[in-house]
Amino acid sequence: MRKLTTGVAIAAVLIVGLSIAFAKGVFTQPETAANAGNSVSHAADVRVASRNATPESRGVGLLAMKTAGAANKYLFAFFWKDDDTATMAMKRVFESATQKVSERADAVAVQISDPAESGIVEKFGLDRAPMPLVLAIAPNGAVTGGFPSEFAEQDLLDAFASPSTEQSMKALQDGKLVFLCVQNDTTKLNAEALQGVREFKADERFAAASEIVMLDPTDSAESSFLNDLKIDPKTPLAVTAFLVPPGSVIAEFEGATNKEQLLAALQSAGSCGPCGVCGPGGCGPR
């Protein structure tokens, strides 16, 4: 399988036990598939609020995620452990970048050794991750960028993703199969393209473990995503891309789909486990 470099796509990266989807990564394609001041103030407000939070939600990190999500904003989270020179240098870069996007994103600094932050540390598996680390988290909770140790300001500025990318990344990071359905009022065979996808999702083995994401190919906000997938935004036919975790495109179909075709694509992407359901890692969702 060939790899496709992209500004907003996903790659599953394992870094000392940390497995997250990074922006500026890759999708795996099938061979044959056709403000600093305001930010600091906000973090302080979050910290004060967290004192009255329940034990389950106490901590600057998780509360900042909840607050940003409720405001439909991104959260840029700076995770650190030691107050050393390298960390302070990267924090300055972080503050400069987040100041420029303060209208679109909140910012928070989290010391991972603080017991109050155990919730977010566990959530993202940060206990053994290299520090400092910045995560860009979309309003829906998808991690659209992960930048360990050293990063440039532009890396953070480029971590925003399109709506369909955010949806797809969140589902993939939740371990789900994703059907990206590229169609609009001008594409042909729309209903036929959705037929197999809906039959697949209706199967009780896959209902809770699959997600359907709709994408209008004429939406300019989605142009980078379509480019990553090598899908023509002027496609005359509906196109369906089948994605599996962590970010592999195992098949793309033009026009009609059927359940058997989709099951065959899933089976060919990996081996069958003892459960008898095929998936990219052996047993697929039950």
Domain 163-283: which topology?
A: Glutaredoxin (3.40.30)
pLDDT tens, N- to C-terminus, the chain (286 residues)? 222 222 233 333 323 223 333 333 334 455 443 333 343 334 334 333 434 444 445 699 999 999 999 999 999 999 999 999 999 999 999 999 999 999 999 999 999 999 999 999 999 999 999 999 999 999 999 999 999 999 999 999 999 999 999 999 999 999 999 999 999 999 999 999 999 999 999 999 999 999 999 999 999 999 999 999 999 999 999 999 999 999 999 999 999 999 999 999 999 987 343 344 454 444 454 4
For domain 35-157, the question of CATH label 3.40.30.10 is answered with yes
Query: Residues spanned by CATH 3.40.30.10 within the chain?
Result: 35-157, 163-283
User: How many angstroms separate the CA atoms of 92 and 80, rounded?
Assistant: 13
CA angle 73, 78, 81 (to 5 degrees): 155
- Crossing angle for the helix pair 259-268 and 190-202, nearest 10 degrees? 70
Residue 119 is inside which H or E element, if any?
helix 118-124
